[in-house]
Amino acid sequence: MNDDEKSFTLVLEAWEGSHNASSNATDFAQMDSLIDRATFSGLIIPGTGWHNLKHNGEHIRIIYRIRVMCNPNYYNTTCSKYCRPRYDRFGHYTCDQMGNKECIVGWRGPNCETAICKPGCHAEHGQCSKPGECTCRPGWQGEKCDQCTPHPGCKHGYCNGSPYQCICDLNWGGILCDRDLNVCGTKEPCRNGGTCENVAPDEYLCKCPEGFSGVNCEKVDNPCAMFPCHHGGTCQQTQAGNSFTCQCLTGWTGETCKISAALLVVKAIDLAAASDSKSIGDARKEDSNFDEVENGTEAALMYDAVYLYAKALDDLDRGEHVKIRKLYCDKAQSWEFGTALVNYMSMNKPYSMLKEGPEQYYGNDRYEGFCIDIIDEIAQILKFNYTLREVADGKWGKTNEKGEWDGMIKELMDMKADMAIADLSISYEREEAVDFTMPFMNLGISILVHKPTKKAHNLFSFLSPLSVDVWIYMATAYLGVSVMLFILARISPNEWENPHPCVQDPDELENKLTLSNSLWHVWASLMQQGCDIAPKAVSTRMVAGMWWFFTLIMISSYTANLAAFLTVERMESPIESAEDLAKQTKIKYGTMATGSTYSFFRDSNIPTFERMWTFMESQRPTVFCKNNQEGVDRVLKEKGDYAFLMESASIEYYVERYCDLMQVGGLLDNKGYGVALPPDSPYTSSISSAILQLGEDGRFIVLKNRWWKLRRGGGKCKDEAAKSGGSANELGLANVGGVFVVLLGGIGIACLIAVCEFIWKSRKLAIDEKDSLFSEMAKELKFAVQCSGSTKPVKTKKDFPPVSSRASMAAETNVDNGSLIQPMLPAHPSSSSNRSEPFHYGFQPS
């Protein structure tokens, strides 16, 4: 086949003989004879169809068919067009018969990589990653991304064609359109007929009528200015100036001339004397002038009607005038007498608790806590009333398998509550369901564990400042430096010196840095003690200097660390972080069975937290608790075999009260507690502003210190820590007993070595003097126990020239008396043979 022209030549041969599929090509040559050969040449267009061919030879007739097909993903008549269908980020298409790309429905572009957005989606402000979507770019919103987004925090404004604008509505001003330019029209602050005038944003001036004063004309300077007298009565101010009297016209009476005199047809009842507690029947009985003859049904009904009407008018005259202004359902602004809101909460220490004590409380007075104080502070700032209610199921709020919410979130979504305040963390899932204010507390998830038991005292605790590896390395370094010092001293010529300075030409030189002396010198340096053996060569001094520097650092580090180890109580804790928890299975751990901590581990895709969630799921339901208090009790009860994962703020609260608990590790996440409100609540921004104000004033710090450290047993563990940490711990025998053990052990070994040396020396003397071992030991021991004199006679060998008996006797006498014995050196110790032999000593009698 010719690749360039797509031409081919086909040669088909027929042979006589046996041949199967397993035969090799070379077997054809061994067949009997060639029957016929068919040859065909031509061009064939690739395709799936077959081409039938015929050959009429001399001996046989052959009918066969052929076809040419392109390799996979190659197309057209020459198989030169490559096209591979795909559905990924590089394209979404199929291939036609000619190898052209055909985009799948919903995609466009040269490689079909661009998704076709939802019809009507703005071409510039909208985008999509999948067909049929319309995702708005930052600054734009709406179903088709054709609406601009106002500036964040813009309260009474809008945008027009450009994102993040804040064009103020009528009568509003400021950067965020939060300043009222028409206070008079919005709030109508002036009372008692005062005229309001806008003077500046959020500022106004009330022009009060005569007889009134104050910022809002609320002060009454002249009682008669309010025209209290009705039906033409004349008002006269009293001398005190704070009250008035009305002079009524004929036919009217009462304090403000409201009561008609014609209604007082029954003179028998004194209204001023009748109290509210008296019934009409009792009033009749007290009327002595009541005419029994006229006491008919009609008269009795008239009597009751007149009395009730007169009493109502009298009560009405005593009432106060209330000025009502309009309320708007879409505004958060309340009237001056406040707004009553229903606040749901969940009971949890120290956020919301029932008051303790024998007193009986009712309503909101039953509760106290951190959140109760916060909502009270917010109510004082925004001037509204509230009613506290406990959520029925006691849950904060999470979704079930059907996506339905429970707890406080459900109450808010069902509009059964106006807000919910508790240790309710702000999460993405909850934010999608309800509105949240600014957080009033920032925190995260941490680990609560039982304090580990104090480390048991060890007699050899003085070895604790350095690890076992360091001790081994130091011992190795000691031996290595000693051997190196010994080798260098043997090599260096400067370490060889004349043992007898008086002899000018000595026959031999001496090296003081023997292996034993090298070990002693290095050991003395390590112990920071002096030594009479010192190196003289530059090389050996270099080794000694580096060893001294090494010992300086090591001894200083050891001393500093030893002080901390012996004076500070140390505790062994197997858990220091979440990674430690995830790596083991001995210590169980869990969370509350509901809430944001539970959701955090369930939804996390971080490997460590995924392993922790898998472990908790395998131990379900034993590791999960109903509430925080149950988890804390379990940590206390199991004493190190259980860890509880909860919010760090709650951990701080319980650690202040249970001294056996502690927090380990840092925060696993960052979140905050906020006030939850129903979706699109008009009070969200107002309450957020109040929370910001409380935070700037430092009220949250004051409230937290009150409920964490001062109330309900707070500060207990801090006091105990102060008592225990006031002074350094005394060192007992358990702390430093090991040093005494080492001292006694060293002395014991030294005594054992001394005994061995004593026996060995006595044995040698016994052999030299041909005496018994016990006799020599007795003589040596007798001299040693006398503890007098610092000199000792030298024993001589038997084969040396004997000393006169008189001298011997004198020597014995002098030894017994403790006299000083002076050796007599030989006159000429020049030869090496004489040096190798013991010197002769004589004794001079006294």
3-state secondary structure 568-616: CCCECCCCCCHHHHHHCCCCEEECECCCHHHHHHHHCCCHHHHHHHHHH
Question: Known binder of ligand: residue 712?
Answer: no
Q: Is the pLDDT of residue 276 over 70?
A: no
Q: Is the pLDDT of residue 635 over 90?
A: yes
Strand partners, 446: 646
What does the alpha-carbon distance between residue 587 and residue 574 come to, in Å, rounded to a whole number?
9
- Over residues 518-572, the pLDDT tens digits come to 898 889 888 888 788 888 888 888 888 898 889 898 888 888 888 777 666 555 6
User: Among the ranges 204-218, 322-336, 686-700, which has the highest mean pLDDT value?
Assistant: 686-700
User: In the chain, count of helices (H) and strands (E)?
Assistant: 21, 42
pLDDT given at position 373: 93
Q: Where are the beta strands (DSSP E) in 221-338?
A: 234-237, 244-247, 252-253, 259-260
Instruction: Estimate the crossing angle of helix 515-526 against helix 538-567, to 10 degrees.
Output: 40
- Over residues 325-362, the pLDDT tens digits come to 555 555 545 544 455 566 667 677 888 988 888 888 88
Among 204-218, 660-674, 766-780, where is mean pLDDT lowest?
A: 766-780
What does the alpha-carbon distance between residue 175 and residue 300 come to, in Å, rounded to a whole number?
72
pLDDT given at position 434: 93
Q: Is the pLDDT of residue 23 over 70?
A: no
pLDDT given at position 496: 80
At 794 the three-state DSSP class reads: coil
More confident residue, 683 or 76: 683
The average pLDDT across 151-167 equals 89
The average pLDDT across 143-157 equals 90
The average pLDDT across 159-185 equals 85
pLDDT given at position 322: 52
What does the alpha-carbon distance between residue 422 and residue 369 come to, in Å, rounded to a whole number?
10
At 620 the three-state DSSP class reads: coil
Q: Are 128 and 117 in contact (CB under 8 A)?
A: yes
Q: Are 424 and 409 in contact (CB under 8 A)?
A: no
pLDDT given at position 691: 94
Q: What are the CA-CA distances from residue 200 to residues 156, 180, 206, 411, 458 (Å)?
A: 17, 9, 13, 42, 79
The average pLDDT across 670-688 equals 91
What does the alpha-carbon distance between residue 417 and residue 342 come to, in Å, rounded to a whole number?
5
Confidence of residue 275 (pLDDT cuts 50, 70, 90): very low
Among 483-492, 625-634, 712-721, where is mean pLDDT lowest?
A: 712-721
- Over residues 39-50, the pLDDT tens digits come to 877 776 777 778
The average pLDDT across 122-126 equals 90
Q: Are 715 and 704 in contact (CB under 8 A)?
A: no
Residues 6+ apart with CB under 8 A from 268: 287, 289, 290
Instruction: Please return the burial class of 39, using the count of CB atoms within 10 Å of its CB with bins 0-12, 13-18 and 19+.
Output: exposed
What does the alpha-carbon distance between residue 649 and residue 667 come to, in Å, rounded to a whole number?
11
Q: What is the 3-state secondary structure (H, E, C) of 78-128?
A: CCCEECCCEEECCEEEEECCCCCEEECCCEECCCCCEECCCCCCCCCCEEC
Q: Are 411 and 344 in contact (CB under 8 A)?
A: yes
Could you count the other beta carbons within 10 Å of the beta carbon of residue 106?
A: 15
Q: Are 751 and 770 in contact (CB under 8 A)?
A: no
Q: Is the pLDDT of residue 214 over 60?
A: yes
pLDDT given at position 376: 92
pLDDT given at position 692: 93
Percent of the chain at pLDDT above 90? 19
pLDDT given at position 644: 94
pLDDT given at position 325: 53
Question: Known binder of ligand: residue 596?
Answer: yes
More confident residue, 809 or 196: 196
What does the alpha-carbon distance between residue 588 and residue 579 come to, in Å, rounded to a whole number?
14
Confidence of residue 438 (pLDDT cuts 50, 70, 90): very high
Instruction: Please return the burial class of 519, using the count of CB atoms within 10 Å of its CB with bins 0-12, 13-18 and 19+.
Output: middle
pLDDT given at position 603: 86
Q: How many residues does the chain have?
A: 846
Q: Write out the two tokens for 696.
A: 């700037």
At 413 the three-state DSSP class reads: helix
Q: How many angstroms from the chain centroid is the CA of residue 179?
A: 40
More confident residue, 731 or 713: 713
For 91, left (φ over 0), alpha (ψ -120 to 50), or beta? left
At 17 the three-state DSSP class reads: coil
pLDDT given at position 391: 87
N- to C-terminal Cα distance for the chain? 135
- Over residues 50-99, the pLDDT tens digits come to 888 888 877 788 888 888 888 888 888 778 888 989 888 888 999 988 88
Q: Is the pLDDT of residue 643 over 90?
A: yes
For 251, left (φ over 0), alpha (ψ -120 to 50), or beta? left
At 444 the three-state DSSP class reads: coil
Q: Are 703 and 694 in contact (CB under 8 A)?
A: no
Mean pLDDT (the chain) is: 78
What does the alpha-carbon distance between residue 790 and residue 136 come to, in Å, rounded to a whole number?
105
What does the alpha-carbon distance between residue 290 and residue 295 come to, in Å, rounded to a whole number?
8
pLDDT given at position 32: 60
pLDDT given at position 279: 45
Domains and CATH numbers, the chain: 8-18+29-69 (no CATH), 182-220 (2.10.25.10), 340-444+670-710 (3.40.190.10), 450-454+571-667 (3.40.190.10)
At 55 the three-state DSSP class reads: strand
Q: Are 171 and 186 in contact (CB under 8 A)?
A: yes
- Over residues 427-436, the pLDDT tens digits come to 888 988 999 9
The average pLDDT across 798-820 equals 41
- Over residues 492-510, the pLDDT tens digits come to 878 888 778 787 777 888 8
Q: What is the 3-state secondary structure (H, E, C) of 303-327?
A: HHHHHHHHHHHHHHHHCCCCCCCCC
Name the amino acid, one letter, at 657: R
The average pLDDT across 194-213 equals 85
pLDDT given at position 24: 55
pLDDT given at position 625: 92
At 65 the three-state DSSP class reads: strand
Q: Which of 814, 404, 346, 318 is nearest to 626 (CA)?
A: 346
Q: Which of 442, 379, 370, 421 is nearest to 702 (CA)?
A: 370
Question: Known binder of ligand: residue 647?
Answer: yes
Question: Known binder of ligand: residue 26?
Answer: no
Q: Is the pLDDT of residue 711 over 90?
A: no
